[in-house]
Amino acid sequence: MMQQQAASRSDMMRMMEMQQRFMEQQQQFMQQQLQHQQQVSSQHLQGATSRQEHHVSLAEFKKFAPSAFKGTSNPLEAETWLNEMKKVFNALRCPDEDRVTFATFMLLGEADIWWNVERGKMGQNTTSLTWEGFKEIFRDKYVPQSVRRQKFREFTRLEQGNMTVAEYAAKFEELARYAPGQVENERERAEKFESGLRARIRQQVSTFELSSYKDVVNKALVVERGLNDTQEEREKIMKKRNRQVGFQNEQDRNTESRPKKQTTASDKTQQKGTIRCYRCGGPHYRKDCSWFEGNCFSCGQQGHKADICPNNSGQQTQRTPQPISGALENRVSQDGQPQGGQQRPRTQGRVYALTQQDANASNTVVTGMIKVSSTNAYVLIDPGATHSFVSVDFVRRNNTMICMPLETEFCVSIPSGDVILVNSIYKDRILNMRGREMKADLLVLEMKDFDLILGMDWLAAYHATVDCFKKTVKFQIPGHPEFTFSGNRMLPPPKIISAIQAKRLLRKGDEGFLAMVMGTQLEELKLEDIPIVREFPDVFPEDLPGLPPDREVEFSIDLIPGTGPISKAPYRMAPAELKVLKEQLQELLDKNFIRPSVSPWGAPVLFVKKKDGSFRLCIDYREINGSNSTEQIPSTEN
């Protein structure tokens, strides 16, 4: 009995000691809490405002719609994503400890898998990982050191070359991030940029001694613009000169290529004294032409014209086409001043259609085939054209056509609004239209789809009327029977050049296009059209009917003893990927390929984009595969 009382008394004492110790611990804890609250309140009073400004939630971060990063093999894309994250963090005044969390939240697909592996390697160190540390790890993966060294070497050797100043500045800023030691301040940045400019631009920019990178770029742009304007003016002058002498040089080559005949004394005298008036075609100078005095072309006397000349009594005169040089009487000189004392504009001719496309767009023109000096020519009869023209290609194909230089340039306005200078003419060319021969004066003009353009001067001379609806031209020449020329939609023969000519044109800067022609009405190959395969249609169904039949021997994979269920958290997916996942799972469920599972085992899935833009479903079985027992895998020897 005494022993029981002593034991109970000792238990009571032990209980009281425990209660006292608990009270002391509780009191100590309360004191610590009080001290902590005092520290927090003092810190709150000192910097509550700044801490509230720096606190950023995930919802605020997502309002900026930052781009997700799925992994890439292009270092520039990785650097661009880092810079975008940096801009968002700076705008939000995001603290350093939250930057890594938000940045890794935007990793998807292959990049998310990489980060999960890296986080597993780091273990508890991820909590203390700073933004600078994350950038270093990120660059080691997607911007390796070898790439950074290569970009550094590119920056040290960077020059403008054939780039414009704007392109050179963009390339400079792109590579400067890989060489921070080369452009530490604004002056070094400006000097490095200036040293890479082209010599002509650098010489003018260096005279200003600019120390700001922005000022150097702006000044280089201004200098480049001035040089380009000067070059354009020079090209216009050279183009004008080439047009003036181009056809004459071509004619000289054609003349030299013809066999020379023996020249007699009479021929020399005739060549030496050959003079031709550009107004009437007579053997005299234009200033001495009797047309200006009002003389008759038939008898040379004054007081009447050739159509009522008394010497032509009893004879019905036929009006012949007026030489085109008559329409060029008041041409302009090289300095742009009109000759003959009349103020007339420089542009004296006009063409409304130069290509087949222009002709198709107009309902007032007629196209067809005629003969010019026994050579077929694709002609465009256009009442909107003031004069008649022949293409340069047609002239080159017919060496029998001899051109005559115009006294001064003739300006032709084309559909694009530009003005082309013409300095050559082919006079009195014979055109054979429905068995009738008619003459025309043709100015040489650069054309693509047509050989000839017969304009209003030729139509008026032959009393022609164009029927736009029927696409016909009716000729009512006085003293001749009426006849009609019917146009057609016949296209000229295709213009084919050799591979050598194509290479030569491409080297000169002409544009080339590579086209691949594919049939649009190809019939799809059917199963019954394939030999052997059509004998086994059950082996090649359009779709699988369902799961294969059960086998006699069930196949299983043994796991390492003691392995528990493995179930990893699913990877984050974009809304588009979740939509595709639901569609694919529903399709597999409808076909009975899969069924709902309640197994504790699970593996995450992710999508990989294919070349055609669709998604391929991939299942991450790495954890489960690591638990397989390799000893039970049968071999071929067994």
Q: Which residues of the chain have pLDDT under 50?
A: 45-53, 247-248, 256, 260-273, 313-347, 636-638
Q: Are 399 and 254 in contact (CB under 8 A)?
A: yes
The backbone torsions φ and ψ at residue 350, rounded to the nearest 5 degrees and listed phi first, read -145, 140
Same domain, 312 and 367: no
Q: How many domains would you assign to the chain?
A: 5
In a domain, 110, yes or no: yes
Residue 299 has what DSSP assignment? Answer: T
pTM (global) more than 0.85: no
Residue 448 lies in a domain: yes
Domain boundary among the residues 462, 486, 510 is at: 486
475 within 8 A of 463, measured Cβ to Cβ = yes
Which tens digit of pLDDT belongs to each residue from 497-554? 888 888 888 888 888 888 887 777 767 778 788 888 888 888 877 777 677 777 777 7
Residue keyed to tokens 């004294």:
273
Question: 3-state DSSP call for residue 350?
Answer: strand
540 assigned to some structural domain? no
Nearest to 356 by CA among 386, 328, 378, 384: 378
Report pLDDT for 342: 42
Q: Residue 155 and residue 168: Cα distance in Å, rounded?
A: 11
With respect to residue 271, please indicate whether it lies within any of the assigned structural domains: no
Residues 373 and 468 in one domain: yes
Say if residue 288 is in the same domain as residue 351.
no
Q: How far apart are CA 235 and CA 241, in angstroms?
A: 10
Judge if 464 and 353 occupy the same domain. Answer: yes
Q: Is residue 67 part of a domain?
A: yes
Looking at the structure, do residues 564 and 588 belong to the same domain, yes or no? yes
On whether both 364 and 455 belong to a single domain, the answer is yes
On whether both 160 and 208 belong to a single domain, the answer is yes
Residues 130 and 158 in one domain: no
What are residue 572's DSSP bridge partners? none
Q: What are φ and ψ of residue 288, in 5° steps? A: -95, 10
Estimate the crossing angle of helix 165-176 against helix 186-195, to 10 degrees: 130
What is the model's pLDDT at position 266? 39
Query: Helices 75-92 and 96-105 meet at what angle, rounded to 10?
Result: 130
In a domain, residue 8? The reply is no
Q: Is residue 610, in this structure, part of any structural domain at all?
A: yes
* Cβ within 8 Å of residue 188, ≥6 positions away: 182
Tokens linked to 32: 């610590």
Cα 51 to chain centroid distance, Å, stands at 50
Residues 313 and 355 in one domain: no
- Same structural domain, 352 and 482: yes
Which of 226, 170, 172 has the alpha carbon at shortest distance from 195?
172
Q: How far apart are CA 458 and CA 321, in angstroms?
A: 7
Give me the pLDDT at residue 11, please. Answer: 73
Domain that holds residue 97: 58-143
> Is residue 348 located within the same domain as residue 482?
yes
Would you state the pLDDT for residue 164? 92
- Give the three-class secondary structure for 144: coil
CB atoms within 10 A of CB 375: 14
Q: What pLDDT sits at residue 399?
A: 66
**Six token digits for residue 139:** 């660059």
Supply the pLDDT for residue 261.
Answer: 44
The pLDDT value given to residue 35: 73
Return contacts of 433-438, CB within 8 angstroms, 24+ apart: 433/370, 433/485, 434/483, 434/485, 436/475, 436/483, 438/321, 438/462
Query: What is the DSSP secondary structure assignment for residue 417, as one 8-state letter?
Result: S
Residue 453 tokens, joined: 């353009």
Reference 276, options 232, 235, 323; nearest CA is 323
CATH number for the domain harbouring residue 443:
2.40.70.10
Q: What is the CATH number of the domain that holds 592?
A: 3.10.10.10
User: Token pair of 165, please?
Assistant: 């100043």
Q: Is residue 203 part of a domain?
A: yes
Q: What is the pLDDT of residues 179-209, one digit of tens each?
A: 877 787 888 889 889 999 998 898 888 888 8
Question: Residue 425 — φ and ψ, nearest 5°?
Answer: -145, 145
Q: Which amino acid is at 623?
A: E
The verdict on 383 and 451 lying in the same domain is: yes
Question: Given 486, 513, 541, which residue is the final one in a domain?
Answer: 486
What confidence score (pLDDT) does residue 165 get? 92
Among 226, 218, 231, CA closest to 166 = 218
pLDDT at 590: 85
Last residue of a domain, one of 454, 486, 518: 486
